[in-house]
Amino acid sequence: MDSRGAPGGIGRRTFIAASLSGVAAIALASCTWPEPSPSPLPTTTTPTTAPPTPTNGVPLPTALRRSRWGAEPFSRGAFSFDSVGSTPELRRALAEPVAERLVIAGEATDPDRPGTLAGARASGIRAAADIARLGSAGERVVVVGAGLAGLTAARDLVDAGFEVVVLEARDRLGGRIHSTDATGFDAPVELGSVFTGDDDELIDMLHEASVDTEPFTAEVSATTPAGLQLPIPTTGPDAVETAQEWAATQPHDVSLATALTGSGATPLSAVPDATGVSPADWLAHTITSEVAPSTGAITSAISAGQYDANRADQLGDLVTGRLSDLIDALAEPLEIAVSSVVTNIAVTERRVSLRLDSGESLTADRAVVTIPLGVLKTDTVRFKPALPLMHQRAISLLGIGVVDTVWLRFDEAFWRADAAGPTDGSEDAAPDSDDQADPDALATPNVLTVVGDASPVAAWIDIGLTTGEPILLGLIAAVQATRLEGLDDPSFQEEVLGALAPFATAPG
């Protein structure tokens, strides 16, 4: 039986009845539920339609693919961040078992590496260990969510002798890992994270699943709107450091925006130098290209005390294979029901009862819930009784950021100094090995940013640099992500191509 509900296969209602018999009783729960409202369909990420002419000298791409994590109803954001008032203790509180029957997992519950693949995997391991400690082999466990956290927990529980079924709201597996075949790209594109984070065990797991990765060290360039590439001073990071030092002396947590002002780090001079860039521009550059994509939020929402300014240096490896192959490997021995939207979860001293938007209900001895924080913040899923106060406080105070990706493929890599060279992935297209060996040689930028202008794209990753392929991956963060998610495809493409104009006009 196809446990992933493939088209033409067994229907969802039949699949649940067949796969959960002996695992969970199918019956209306013995409590009164409010009628669930119809669930919206997941937002799809379809290729865009090209505008008729190039934008600001930028050639039209041959292929484009975008994500919309903020608008996706089963995510409501990309990952969690530390908003004002949040602490690692709140993440630990959210992970505490409820009535010894229910455990919440997901990257938002990991105090060490939140917002990362590594944090999601670690939370799944922790949740499975909690269930194993509280329960006994042979018990029935429902795991809500088939992302990395949920599948990790499910596999560990199966290995420990529990009977496990996984319910997934989407019609696919992976959660915020989404590898998709996109027209015009030779390989699948990743609409979620493309970095492993600082987790050697995760990298080993990826390699075991035949998912290739390569070491990645960010070599960031900053280019003015006129196309002039400039060395990046410490103006912005110094201001953020000053703000955080001041925030540490305050009696209460404050936002990064408040700390920048209260510490005297701002205002900086807005008078441009000979290059046309001012100190204020360099601080804006740091906020746009570092703070925003690492949190998905604006400075007035970010905790000055909890913000990790070193996160950009902890990206780990770049995933060059199909990240969903790891998801498929984890899912292979599991019973999974897709398109199964949980609307209500009731916890008693003896069991956990779940109701689906179809009206079906099921019971189990225990449950692991990996519903994303953005969804927990809504009333999409109702808990009965309400979650403990510390869980509610954690859900309320922890932030959910929005970061989207856009993949672009062109006929040639016009943004590189050697754009006239081969772009077919041949050896001649790769950086010269002698240049790489020269410690005094300038590293070829693999992260492109703009200074002196409010670009809608926080940073461009030259994803095809090592192979010579003309592919860029754009990161769109915070308010820009929310704004661009609301644009139709032609308008979206026009905006992102406009953001590439400085690199199209850069001196060769």
Please choose, from the candidates 95, 126, 127, 125, the residue with its C-alpha nearest in 3D space to the C-alpha of residue 108. 95
Share of the chain above pLDDT 90, in %: 78
Q: d(Cα 239, Cα 241) in Å, to the nearest integer?
A: 5
What is the model's pTM? 0.85
Q: d(Cα 49, Cα 491) in Å, to the nearest integer?
A: 9
The reported pLDDT for the residue numbered 179 is: 94
The answer for residues whose C-beta is within 8 angstroms of residue 392's C-beta and 6 or more apart is 386
The reported pLDDT for the residue numbered 351 is: 96
- How confident is the model over 20-61, as pLDDT tens digits? 433 333 333 333 333 333 333 333 344 444 444 455 789 999
The answer for residues whose C-beta is within 8 angstroms of residue 479's C-beta and 6 or more apart is 298
Q: How does 185-195 read in b/e, with b if 16+ C-beta sit within 10 Å?
A: beebbbbbbbb
- How confident is the model over 288-310, as pLDDT tens digits? 999 999 999 999 999 999 999 98
The reported pLDDT for the residue numbered 315 is: 86
Q: How does 377-407 read in b/e, with b if 16+ C-beta sit within 10 Å?
A: eeebbebbeebeeebebbbebbbbbbbbbbb
Q: How does 276-296 read in b/e, with b if 16+ C-beta sit within 10 Å?
A: ebbbbbbbbbbbbbbbbbbbb
Q: Which residue's entry shows tokens 């019973």? A: 335
**Diameter over CA atoms, the chain:** 74
The reported pLDDT for the residue numbered 423 is: 37
Contact 404, 78 (CB under 8 A): yes
Which has more pLDDT, 198 or 147?
A: 147
Q: d(Cα 62, Cα 392) in Å, to the nearest integer?
A: 47
Q: Is the pLDDT of residue 12 over 50?
A: no
Rounded to 5 degrees, what are φ and ψ at 319? Answer: -80, 120
Homologous superfamily of 12-30+97-184+321-387: FAD/NAD(P)-binding domain (3.50.50.60)
Judged by average pLDDT, the poorest of 150-154, 184-188, 402-406 is 184-188
Contact 247, 254 (CB under 8 A): yes
Average pLDDT rounded to a whole number, residues 425-445: 47
What's the mean pLDDT when you consider all of the chain?
Answer: 86
Judged by average pLDDT, the poorest of 148-157, 424-433, 435-444 is 424-433
The reported pLDDT for the residue numbered 56 is: 75
Q: Is the pLDDT of residue 420 over 50?
A: no
Q: Alpha carbon 219 to chain centroid distance? A: 22
Please choose, from the candidates 150, 158, 96, the residue with its C-alpha nearest in 3D space to the C-alpha of residue 120. 150
Strands 447-450 and 459-461: antiparallel
Average pLDDT rounded to a whole number, residues 77-87: 97
Q: Tokens standing for 207?
A: 């390699």
Q: Is the pLDDT of residue 350 over 90?
A: yes
Q: Is the pLDDT of residue 279 over 70?
A: yes
Q: Which residue's entry shows tokens 């943004």? A: 415
Q: Is the pLDDT of residue 339 over 90?
A: yes
Rounded to 5 degrees, what are φ and ψ at 244? Answer: -70, -35
Task: Using alpha carbons only, give the angle 370, 132, 198 rounded to the nearest 5 degrees.
Answer: 55
The answer for residues whose C-beta is within 8 angstroms of residue 173's C-beta and 6 or more apart is 4, 146, 147, 151, 324, 327, 328, 331, 336, 338
Average pLDDT rounded to a whole number, residues 223-236: 95
Beta bridge partners of residue 335, listed in sequence order: 165
- How confident is the model over 448-476, as pLDDT tens digits? 999 999 999 999 999 999 889 999 999 99
The reported pLDDT for the residue numbered 197 is: 83
Share of the chain above pLDDT 70, in %: 83
Q: How far apart are the first and last CA of the chain?
A: 58
The reported pLDDT for the residue numbered 9 is: 33
Q: Domain locations in the chain?
A: 12-30+97-184+321-387
